[in-house]
Amino acid sequence: MGDAYGQGPDFLFQGEAMMSDNNPPHCQLVLSQFPLLRLFGHNLLVFVDATGTVIAELDGLATSKTGSIKPVGYLPSDRLKVYQFSASYLYRHQQPRVVLYKGSRLEVQQRWAAALRGKDAINALGLAYPLFGLGRNSNSVTSTLIACMGLYELAIPNGKPAPWEGHLLLPRGTIAAIRKEMVTGANTGIHLDVH
């Protein structure tokens, strides 16, 4: 469960796990949901290889003023930060999930790099975490990162309500610029719900 926060997308290209583009396209970007109080869901993104191994996970999380991750933000000093983990952090294979994108490792890495650019843009805002998550929260982080990758946010089968999903944390122009720079063939006609 190593934290890769702060590392660039290059860490995904290192090591023996790198596949050539001659292999079948089986890597996936997965939208998954961690259950909260059996009533709600915390949406997160996962990069999974052809064997089902988690390569990386992205989560929006409440963070204390000392930089510690918290289960929920409740102090005025708490911030909403995006973290990348180099293995499962909150993701479990049995959680409700939906595949957002399937392709070669290189194609999936390209989309993931766009999400990482979105992560950096969100973190640069220094957003306050809404009291007990009642406002744009970690689910909004996930929606924003999906938009940065040029993908549609699909409904998660058997998922719980995920408060504030579909709300974006970055301006429409910033998201479009990330997609244009980072993703070849991104769906530039995606509807962006900016509130």
pLDDT digits (tens, 9 = 90+) for 102-121: 999 999 999 999 999 999 99
In a domain, 146, yes or no: yes
Q: Could you tell me the pTM of the whole model?
A: 0.82
pLDDT tens-place string over residues 59-88: 999 999 999 999 888 999 999 999 999 999
Which has more pLDDT, 18 or 166? 166
Confidence of residue 164 (pLDDT cuts 50, 70, 90): very high
Q: Are 167 and 190 in contact (CB under 8 A)?
A: no
Q: Which domain holds residue 170?
A: 9-182
In a domain, 122, yes or no: yes
What CA–CA distance (Å, rounded) separates 34 from 21? 32
Question: Looking at the 3D structure of the chain, how many domains does it have?
Answer: 1
Q: Are 78 and 63 in contact (CB under 8 A)?
A: yes
Which has more pLDDT, 132 or 12? 132
In a domain, 1, yes or no: no
